[in-house]
Chain A
Amino acid sequence: MSFDIFDFLPLLKFRIEENSMSPFLKEGDNVLVWRFAKPKIGDVIVFKVNDKHYVKRIEKIKGDQYFVLGDNKKESIDSKKFGWIDKKDIIGKVIYKI
């Protein structure tokens, strides 16, 4: 079993790569993510798919399933392509842009 310090921190810092959340988040921006927030529609969240982190905005919620979209619709690969994501895959909510 591996120990990961990120599993124990309530606040995490992420650097944004690529532009699908433009203009809200641009490549190179840093954000703080609160792990214990209850995500609601309109929130920007970081979630994990296949060990890779992504950042998107919640469009719809159905039980424990979340439909997420990029703000920059033209460029975004999001739930329209990969479907709904599970609550368990959500890392947290973006609460601050540094």
Chain B
Amino acid sequence: MRSVFYHLISKVLPAQTAFAHCDVPCGIYDPKPAQIAAAIVLKMVEKIGELDSSVSSQNDTSRENSLIRMVWTKEEHARKCKEELLILWTDYFKSEHISLFPNLHETFWKAAKLCSKNKQNVDLKSAEELVRAVDEIAEIFKKTQSASNAAKASK
């Protein structure tokens, strides 16, 4: 009887949101989403460059549509790349990693700056630098994982 009442009342009550709050999905960290996002930024910059050279083969509206989509995709993935990097930087990496990789903060800071630079510009060199910077972070991440696994195995 009580459950019928609760069900009925729940139909008329407006729902608010309560966060159970899990920091990041299941404590799983991975640099791959950032690497994919950086690769997409580079691909978009390349495609925008190709679009300019093929201007005569398309009508203006079609070209504008393609350009806007590519710029939007570049913007979105540069944003996503920065977001993924910040999760790794602030949540995954700990002070003990700094002693192993003293340039860690500098590396992340530069990579995050490159995300912004790639939003602001269409520049092949900056896009390639972003891919390299994120790959470097992925390499550091891999080394910390190997060190962590080795420590667990020795226990």
Contacts from A to B (Cβ < 8 Å): 6, 9, 11-22, 25, 27, 30-32, 46, 52-56, 70, 72, 74-78, 95-96, 98
Contacts and interface: CB of A to CB of B under 8 A. Distances in A.
B150 interface: no
Contacts of A6: 16
Interface centre among A9, A18, A52 (most CB of B within 10 A): A18
Interface string B35-59: 0000000000000000000000000
Contacts, number: 86
Interface stretch (B4-12, B105-113, B129-137, B140-148): B4-12
B20 to A, nearest CB: 4
Contacts of A98: 6-7, 10
Given A32-B6, A75-B26, A96-B3, A16 B21 contact: no
B151 interface: no
30 contacts: A9-B13, A13-B14, A15-B17, A16-B18, A16-B19, A16-B20, A17-B17, A17-B20, A18-B20, A18-B21, A19-B22, A20-B20, A25-B20, A27-B20, A30-B15, A32-B6, A32-B13, A46-B18, A53-B17, A55-B19, A56-B20, A70-B20, A70-B22, A72-B20, A72-B22, A75-B23, A75-B26, A76-B22, A77-B22, A78-B21
